[in-house]
Amino acid sequence: MKAKQSMTTFLLIRHGSCFPVGRFLAGRASGVHLDEAGKKEVLFLEESIRGIHLDEIISSPLERTVETAEAVARGRGLEVKIRDEINEVDCGEWTGKSFEELSGNAVWIAFNRFRSAVRIPGGEMMIEVSSRMSRFMEEKRREGKNCVAIVSHGDPIRAVISHCLGLPVDFLTRFEIKTASVSVITLSDYGANLSCLNHTGMFNLAYAS
């Protein structure tokens, strides 16, 4: 008897805008909430994907992602599940530092040129981020879910998209993941398919498949 093919579509959602975006590395620091622009973004996000059936909504443990996930869950009767595997990059000693402060740091410069080979001081390597994200998504696929929303952060989303496309993590800075954006990846027994990247408008899953 032939085994049933397992295929899961993932909506990879970045959290809405918050004050640190573009200013400093919030990393895993607590107390970073959506700002007013972010609250408006996630309301529009919820409206834009309202017609898509979701089996699960899973969030990084940080406040900005949980607030985004709760907006997506509104009216669906789904509980937001929290998983560490989709957390923000551990920025170690760089947590809370402004991009201006880091601009002259030799390790920071090397990290942004060769993300596959440079560890953040006291933190993670990007290949570790890619690995934990991709393992988690494969775990969900094997559970037989049809459509799962993962609410995470810019670099973890870029890292797992790069992995699914067979791109080195060194290339992840070549595409953007905006706040409150949706990217769509389908995983099956035959591999991965990216059907939508960094979408911020009204969304129809049928057009992204």
pLDDT of residue 2: 45
Residues in the chain: 209
pLDDT of residue 132: 98
Yes or no: say if 134 and 156 are a contact pair by the CB < 8 Å rule.
no
- Residue 184 region by backbone torsions, left for phi larger than 0, else alpha for psi between -120 and 50, else beta: beta
- Evaluate if residue 10 carries a pLDDT over 90: yes
- Evaluate if residue 207 carries a pLDDT over 60: no
Q: What is the mean pLDDT of residues 164-190?
A: 95
CA-closest candidate to residue 145, choices 58, 82, 35: 58
Assigned CATH topology for domain 8-208: Rossmann fold (3.40.50)
Quick: pLDDT tens for 59-68: 999 999 999 9
CA-closest candidate to residue 158, choices 79, 94, 89, 84: 89
**Start-to-end CA span in the chain (Å):** 29
Quick: pLDDT tens for 84-124: 999 999 999 999 999 999 999 999 999 999 999 999 999 99
Percent of the chain with pLDDT over 70: 94
- Evaluate if residue 23 carries a pLDDT over 90: no
**CB within 8 A of 205, min separation 6: which ones?**
9, 49, 52, 147, 184
Q: If pLDDT is split at 50, 70 and 90, which confidence band does 202 have?
A: low
Domain positions in the chain: 8-208
Residue 198, SS3 per DSSP: strand
- Evaluate if residue 143 carries a pLDDT over 50: yes
pLDDT of residue 205: 58
Supply the pTM of this predicted model. Answer: 0.93
Q: If pLDDT is split at 50, 70 and 90, which confidence band does 141 have?
A: very high
- Evaluate if residue 1 carries a pLDDT over 90: no
- What's the mean per-residue pLDDT of the chain? 93
Q: Which two tokens stand for residue 170?
A: 């060194």
- Evaluate if residue 28 carries a pLDDT over 50: yes
Yes or no: say if 111 and 172 are a contact pair by the CB < 8 Å rule.
no
**At CB < 8 A and 24+ separation, what contacts does 199-208 make?**
201/48, 202/47, 202/48, 203/48, 203/49, 203/52, 204/51, 205/9, 205/49, 205/52, 205/147, 208/184
